[in-house]
């Protein structure tokens, strides 16, 4: 079961779709052009039903097999949104939208799932129904959660769901996966620190918020090194330090810290939230100021189901010859919401020696398209074989 010949034939066409999407990146839920393009193509492929507006701008296409006795419905999901990054690839099909680019390969994911949908609608060599899911707002907006809360799983009777992400640094078309916890829970926090502003030449008349905030940042590093169990995975990062003054000679009244927490289990998640609040409040008190924490739990841990992961790995081995065990990833992935609703698995496909995702020079590798399309198509055909 190597790469399907049909996808080698379709490669120029799928590449053209991908590059068109790449030129017109859209952020979060504002994926109106992309969603319209997806819906138009699914209709043209002959999908039995195409539904738009799920989870605001999500699209689902239903493809019925030549037989339906199994009663199975398998979901295949791709994300559509881009990132607020200025592109620096220099390719002739670069983003035409200032300040936005497909820096994570969602253009490739969407194009590959469209390619698989075209093939499945042509052949229908399975017993059941395939639901191709095109999701907005993976990059921080929780589009997966929105589609689930919109009743997608129940509405279409989806019983299992499978997703895929390209992975720079892995050979093109190779695969890796792991069962259980795979991608981290991703939380965000904001700490508003207030003291007493004043003239920088008279620090004794102020309560210096920059010193206070600096101590909070440094003290938070002890959460991982001194509070967390050393064998458990946790990342605490302060990523923004903003004052309410831009002057050289003013000690600001307020400082705002922002950051992210990545964990792999509920215990570490609870620990991080508790300790960030305690450290901020205590450090502020020492200096005579105040600190208010706003902690938001964002994406949960993405957990691959055991049986579905082994099946997905077997399919991948049939295409590329092997499927490595993937490492734990401290990045977040809102496919986690779909895996909380239904069993399934998420796999990585190699993007080759390219810039990393979320980098202005990143570009999806079109050579990975046949392998990705083949995996999605084989998931449907092997999970719902015709007897």
Could you tell me which residues are annotated as the binding site?
104, 106, 139, 165, 358
Q: Tell me the binding residues for Mn(2+).
A: 104, 106, 139, 165, 358
Q: Which of 62, 57, 53, 64 is nearest to 80 (CA)?
A: 57
294 catalytic, yes or no?
no
State how far the Cα of 46 lies from the Cα of 121, in Å rounded to an integer. Answer: 6
Rg (CA), the chain: 23
Half-sphere exposure of residue 297, counting CA atoms within 13 Å on the CB side? 13
State how far the Cα of 236 lies from the Cα of 255, in Å rounded to an integer. Answer: 19
13 catalytic, yes or no?
no
DSSP state of 374: H
The backbone torsions φ and ψ at residue 243, rounded to the nearest 5 degrees and listed phi first, read -110, 165
Burial class (CB in 10 A: 0-12, 13-18, 19+), 20: middle
Q: Which of 79, 87, 138, 366 is catalytic?
A: 138
State how far the Cα of 11 lies from the Cα of 14, in Å rounded to an integer. Answer: 5
Q: Which of 26, 79, 81, 127 is catalytic?
A: 81
State how far the Cα of 58 lies from the Cα of 106, in Å rounded to an integer. Answer: 14
- Where on the phi/psi map is residue 262: left (φ > 0), alpha (ψ -120 to 50), or beta? beta
State how far the Cα of 352 lies from the Cα of 302, in Å rounded to an integer. Answer: 24
Residues 6+ apart with CB under 8 A from 142: 298, 299, 334, 337
State how far the Cα of 377 lies from the Cα of 313, in Å rounded to an integer. Answer: 14
Question: Known catalytic residues?
Answer: 81, 138
């Amino acid at each position: 079961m190597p790469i399907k010949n049909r996808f080698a034939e379709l490669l120029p066409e799928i590449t053209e779709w991908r590059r068109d999407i790449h030129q017109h990146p859209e952020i979060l839920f504002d994926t109106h052009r992309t969603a319209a393009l997806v819906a138009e193509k699914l209709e043209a492929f002959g999908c039995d039903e195409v539904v738009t507006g799920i989870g605001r701008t999500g699209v689902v296409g239903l493809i019925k097999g030549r037989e339906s006795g199994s009663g199975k419905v398998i979901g295949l999901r791709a994300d559509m949104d881009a990132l607020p990054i200025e592109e620096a690839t220099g390719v002739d099909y670069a983003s035409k939208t200032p300040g936005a680019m497909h820096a994570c390969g969602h253009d490739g994911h969407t194009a590959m799932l469209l390619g698989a949908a075209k093939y499945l609608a042509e052949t229908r060599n399975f017993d059941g129904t395939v639901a191709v899911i095109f999701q907005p707002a993976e990059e921080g907006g929780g589009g997966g959660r929105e589609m689930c809360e919109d009743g997608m799983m129940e509405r279409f009777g989806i019983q299992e769901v499978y997703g895929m992400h390209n992975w720079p640094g892995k050979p093109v078309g190779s695969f890796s996966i792991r069962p259980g916890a795979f991608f981290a829970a991703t939380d965000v926090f904001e700490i508003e620190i207030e003291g007493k502003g004043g003239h920088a030449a008279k620090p004794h008349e102020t309560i210096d918020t920059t010193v206070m905030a600096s101590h909070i940042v440094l003290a938070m590093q002890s959460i991982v090194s001194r509070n967390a169990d050393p064998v458990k995975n946790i990342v605490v990062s302060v990523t923004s330090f903003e004052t309410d003054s831009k002057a050289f000679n003013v000690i600001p009244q307020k400082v705002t810290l922002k950051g992210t927490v990545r964990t792999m289990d509920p215990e570490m998640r609870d620990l991080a939230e508790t300790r960030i609040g305690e450290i901020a409040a205590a450090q502020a008190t020492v200096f005579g100021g105040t600190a208010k924490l706003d902690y938001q739990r964002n994406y949960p841990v993405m957990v691959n189901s055991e049986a579905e992961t082994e099946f997905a790995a077997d399919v991948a081995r049939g295409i590329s010859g092997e499927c490595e065990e993937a490492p734990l990833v401290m990045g977040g992935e809102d496919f986690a919401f779909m895996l909380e609703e239904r069993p399934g698995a998420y796999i990585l496909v190699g993007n080759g020696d390219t810039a990393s995702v979320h980098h202005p020079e990143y570009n999806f590798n079109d050579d990975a398209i046949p392998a990705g399309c083949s995996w999605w198509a084989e998931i449907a055909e092997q999970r719902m074989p015709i007897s």
